Structure 1
Amino acid sequence: SAASVIAMAGDVIEIAPSASMMIHRAWGAVIGNTTDMQEFAGVLAQIDDALAGVYAARAGIKPADALGLMDAETWFFGQGAVDAGFADRVAELPEASAMIRGHRPSQSLREPAQPVAQQDDARLVAALRGLQQTITR
């Protein structure tokens, strides 16, 4: 939801075929009296207008139409986001096999010389002893 308005800043917006984008009105919480709540409602309305302007500019629609989509908490998936004007194209994702073809694990991904649990035992024991001393002071 908040990420959707950030995405609108992109020169070219790609969306994965299975990705989703949701637009909605701004929301938040306020604690206080009626004056505080009315003031916050005004702030939310200003945010809504700003968001609607951003969505409208990207999608080539009227801000009022963007507000309607925001009211409905509208979801777009993959090609639907492109069709609505909120993305430029659906990303072409390589097949998993093509991604790993010819891949060799780096040395850092190989099995450690000593199991990690054993490497960390001494540090863990020292940390626990220090914590125990701090608590019992």
Structure 2
Amino acid sequence: MARIDIRGVIIPNDYKWYYDWFEEDSTCPRDVQKVIDAYPNEMHDIYINSPGGAIDVGSEIYTMLRGHAAGIKIYITGQACSAASVIAAAGYCEMSPTALLMVHCVSSRARGNHSDMEHMAEVLRTADRALCTAYMNKTGMTEREVLDMMEHETWLNAQQALERKLIDKIMFEQQEPELMTASMFALPSKEQMERARTLAMAPEMERAMMNLKLLELEGAGKWEEKSI
């Protein structure tokens, strides 16, 4: 199993030298592709702690991960904001109870006259609708529900992200709730049933030896035979 870290700003490939020069965390598509190419048939663990970055780069990485045939498992360890939250929607995702996830609308630094501003507004609305499909596919929410969440720059803790189905599990929590019963006797634990299954499937001689180990002594030197 290989590991991919999505850390720092999400940037195009040709920006990478700049961030590396100043020893700042960053992730570009080439970083991700190198790991996928090195381990093409292995499932990948993806660890995200990123404030986001370029939306087209986030989309490219999202597409790489979602298309990885061997599968991925995503962990949000610090923050998954903006473009990083799109990447987090690429597959099964767990989130640290102390982490944050943020979704918002696409922004730009447009300049020009009123026609330029009106044109850019339409471009941004189109980009919002394109990116919201990642959240829709992950959660089952409608386009209007997702766009409303994006327009309000929504910050979510792990529990809120789980409730909206943006993640699949909160890290470190038990996967299965404790089985509760209403009876006068206790059900066997999963560990006990697994030991019994092992004994039942063992060869006859091996099972006999295991049975000997289950003989219990109440006093000293006297065994009470028990069978499986």
1:42 CA drift (Å): 1.2
Q: Which residue of 1 aligns with 2:98?
A: 18
Counterpart in 1 of 2:162? 82
Q: Is the 8 A contact 1:52 1:64 kept in 2?
A: no
How far is the alpha carbon of 1:40 from its aligned partner?
A: 1.0
**CA shift digits 1:83-135 (9 cap, x unpaired):** 11100111129xxxxxxxxxxxxxxxxxxxxxxxxxxxxxxxxxxxxxxxxxx
SS in structure 2 at match of 1:32:
coil
Deviations 1:49-82 (A, max 9, x none): 0122221121111011101111111111112211
- 1:39: how far off? 1.5
Provide the rounded CA distance (Å) in 1 between the counterparts of 2:152 and 2:125. Answer: 16
Which TM-score applies when normalising by structure 1? Answer: 0.63
2:122 is the alignment partner of 1:27: no
**Amino acid corresponding to residue 87 of structure 1 in structure 2:** I
Bigger relative contact order, structure 1 or 2 (CA pairs below 8 A, ≥6 apart): 1
The structure richer in helix per residue is 1
Calculate the TM-score normalised by the size of structure 2: 0.39
- Runs ≥4 in structure 1, deviation > 6 angstroms? none
Aligned 8 A contact 1:23 1:74 in 2? yes
Secondary structure in 2 aligned to 1:22? strand
Structure 1, unpaired ranges of 5+: 94-137
- Considering only aligned residues, what root-mean-square deviation do their CA atoms show, in Å? 1.4
Percent identical pairs in the alignment equals 36
The amino acid of 2:89's aligned partner reads: M
Which protein has the bigger strand share?
2
Number of residue pairs the alignment of both structures matches: 92
